[in-house]
Structures are given as structure tokens and as C-alpha cells.
Amino acid sequence: MELRQLRYFVTVVEEGGFTRAAARLHLAQPGLSAQIRQLEKELGQPLLDRSHRSVTLTELGRAVLPYARSALAAADGVRQTADAFTGLLRGRVSLGLVPGSGGHAFDIAGFLADFHDAHPELEIALREDTSERMQAAVLSGELDIAVLGPTDEAPPAGLSLQTVIDTPLAVVAAPDDPLLAAHRSTGVPLAALRDRALICLPPGTGVRAALERACARAGFRPRVAFEAAAPPLLARFAARGLGVAVLPVSENDPDLDGHLRALPIVNPAIRARIALAWRTAGPAGPAARVLLDRLRTTVPVPPSTEEPTPTEEPRPDRPT
């Protein structure tokens, strides 16, 4: 059994198939398949079920996966410890981003470019997904860090958060929409949305979770007619009169043009947050710990948010 075979196995699982795994590993797919079969031959049973369109884990594969990840983490730890003594920072950091996070006030693309320039040996793997799935991926160790919209009022055990953006939710619609005209000076009461067709982000996002919690407390379920992961697309739906969008924007948001207007939701106001998320115990590798520490000292702190919050732990120490 070779360490590279374990790495290939874990990569196939993470990518959901051989084609994407081969591309990520810069290998020919037949060679990758042959290495996995050699590992399975040595273990005496298949690790992967190839009988369906997507590759899934067998019972043995599920049992072996955490040990394979632990072995890879231990080997990476040996290399990273040696690199720390020579001042190098290398390895791989997995970072999750909620769709649209690149358009927020914090320039995540610029930050990552600068960080990569300072540490060219470090590989940063980016993944976009719903906040709910990324939260689970951080807790399981599949992601080191994520920028997500918290889906719960309090984070689950083992997860720490640092708020980056804290924005009130607003109703976005065409300027002549009767709902906006009726509440132009006060904001739109949540109860006024009871019978309206809404346009919103999909389940598993922080915005959708915040809206559904508020509506449940008000005694109704939101009637979501259209949903998509990209806020600009939702705004275009609203501009064409397909419903009113619920988005984290302000009335003076530069992304709103003359075809749209935003009014805050009131009675009660609903807020949406974007936060850094990491395992409370800290990321496993020193490279991820350094990246997290740099992110936490660089991202802006919203004026309405006091840091640190009671759910947070002290920042992980940098490797010496």
C-alpha cells in the first residue's frame, strides 16, 4: 500500500468520480483507475462502487476513508513541520465560498492572490456550495475554512464563526410595485409578504434560513416562486415582475439600477450574515492555520457586530 494510492482514493471520493479526480491530480484517468484497483486488490475488496453513473463508496470504502485521510494528514504534517523550520509554507488549503461572496465589500479574490504571491508553494483549492453543505464540510474536515451565510441562529458545537458582513434583508421589486408604494416611508412589514410570490436564494443558504425562521414566528410559510443561487439573477426576475425578491441589499445599493428599488423588511427586521467558519479546534495543517489567522485579521468587522462573540474561540496559534 502506497501513500499516493490513498491520496488518489481520497481525491476520487472528494471529486465524486475519476474524471474530475484525474484532472485535479494531473493524471491520465486510466492510470488513476489502475492505481485504485491495485489498492483494492491489496485490500481484497472494492472501495468504490462503479455500477452507477456516479462513483460511490462501498461499505469498506466508508470504513477506510477516515483512516486514509488521517494517514495523508500525518504525512502532510511531517512535511509541513519540516517546512516550518525552513520558513516555507506549502501544502493544500481547501476554502469554501458561498456563491456571490466575491462581490461583497471584502475582496476575497485580491486577498487570495496576495497570499499566493507571498506563499507560491501553497495550493488553495476553492469550492462554491450552499452554506449548509459547507458548514458540514468544515465540521467533517473536508474544508479547512469557509466563507458562508450561517444557517442557524447559533453555530453547532465544534464550529466557530467570525462575522464579516451583517446586512438587513430587503424587498427588491420594480419601482411601481404596489407593495413598495404602500410602504414607501416605513419599510415593508414581514406580514405583507404572506400572500406575495417571493424570489429568494435556495434552501441551505443563510438568507433563506433567516427568512423562513422569521416567517415561521409570524405564523406563515413564505411562498417562494423562484429561487436561484445568484442574487443578480434574482434581481432580474424581480425587475421582470415575476415576484418580489428578498435579498441582503440596501436602498442605495449600487447594484440596483433604475428598474429596481429596495425597501427594508420591518416588524421584525431580518438580518443576513456572511461569516468566516472554521473548526473550533483549528484547521489541521499549519498552512490553513496561517491563512485563517491572516483572514481573521484582514476582513472588516461590521459596525453592528461586536467581536469576539461568545461562540468564538481564541485564534489558533501560528506555527513557530
The CATH number of residue 16's host domain is 1.10.10.10
What local confidence, expressed as pLDDT, does residue 105 receive? 54
Which DSSP string do the residues of 47-70 spell out, in sequence order? SEE-SSSS-EE-HHHHHHHHHHHH
The last residue of one of the domains, among 269, 288, 315, is 269
Count the domains in the chain: 3
For residues 2-13, average pLDDT: 91
- Domain membership of residue 220 (yes or no) is yes
Q: What is the 3-state secondary structure (H, E, C) of 162-196?
A: EEEEEEECEEEECCCCHHHHHCCCCCEEHHHHCCC
Binned at pLDDT 50, 70 and 90, residue 316 comes out as very low
pLDDT at residue 306 in the model: 42
pLDDT band (50, 70, 90) for residue 160: very high
CB 134 within 8 A of CB 148: yes
* Pair 97, 57 in one domain: no
Whether residue 116 is contained in a domain is answered as: yes
pLDDT > 90 in the chain, percent? 36
Predicted confidence at residue 78, as pLDDT, reads: 81
For residues 291 and 151, membership in a common domain is answered with yes
Q: What is the per-residue pLDDT for 308?
A: 40
Residue 113 in any domain: the answer is yes
On the question of pLDDT at 312 being above 50, the answer is: no
- Within this chain, do residues 52 and 175 fall inside the same structural domain, yes or no? no
**Would 79 be classed as within a structural domain?**
no
Provide the pLDDT for residue 102: 54
For the chain, the DSSP string reads: --HHHHHHHHHHHHHTSHHHHHHHHT--HHHHHHHHHHHHHHHTS-SEE-SSSS-EE-HHHHHHHHHHHHHHHHHHHHHHHHHHHHT---EEEEEEE-TTGGGSSS-HHHHHHHHHHH-TTEEEEEEE--HHHHHHHHHHTS-SEEEE---SSSPPTTEEEEEEEEEE-EEEE-TT-HHHHHTTTT-EEGGGGTTS-EEEPPTTSHHHHHHHHHHHHHT----EEEE-S-HHHHHHHHHTTS-EEEES--TT-TT--TT-EEEEEESS--EEEEEEEEETT--SSHHHHHHHHHHHHHSPPPTT--SS-TT--PPPPPP-
Can you tell me the mean pLDDT for 7-14? Answer: 92
**pLDDT, tens digit (0-9, with 9 covering 90-100), for 126-138:** 888 888 899 999 9
- Confidence band (pLDDT; 50, 70, 90) for 252? low
Q: Which tens digit of pLDDT belongs to each residue from 261-309?
A: 889 999 999 988 888 999 998 887 778 888 898 888 887 666 654 444 4
Task: Examine the domain organization and report whether 145 and 279 are in the same domain.
Answer: yes
Average pLDDT over residues 154-177: 89
Q: What is the pLDDT of residue 256?
A: 67
pLDDT attached to residue 280: 93
7 is a domain residue: yes
Decide if 204 is inside a domain.
yes
Q: 290 and 162 in one domain?
A: yes
Contact 174, 259 (CB under 8 A): yes
Q: State whether 34 and 120 are in the same domain.
A: no
pLDDT, residue 146, reads 94
Regarding whether 208 and 260 lie in a shared domain, the answer is yes
What does pLDDT average to over the chain? 84
Reported confidence tier of residue 251, pLDDT bands at 50, 70, 90: low
Choose one of 23, 43, 70: the last residue of a domain: 70
Please determine, for residue 175, whether its predicted confidence score (pLDDT) is greater than 80.
yes
Q: What CATH number has the domain bearing residue 239? A: 3.40.190.10
**pLDDT for res 106:** 66
82 falls within a domain: no
Do 251 and 131 have their domain in common?
no
Q: Which residue has the higher pLDDT, 316 or 222?
A: 222
Over residues 170-194, the mean pLDDT reads 90
**143 and 230 part of one domain:** no
Are 101 and 37 contained in the same domain? no
**pTM (2 decimals)?**
0.62
Does residue 133 lie within any of the structural domains? yes
Under a CB-based contact definition with an 8 Å cutoff, are residues 227 and 246 in contact? no
263 shares its domain with 277: no
Asked whether residue 59 falls in the same domain as residue 131, the answer is no
What's the angle, vertex CA 42, arms to CA 39 and CA 45, rounded to 5?
Answer: 85
- Domain of residue 51, residue span: 3-70
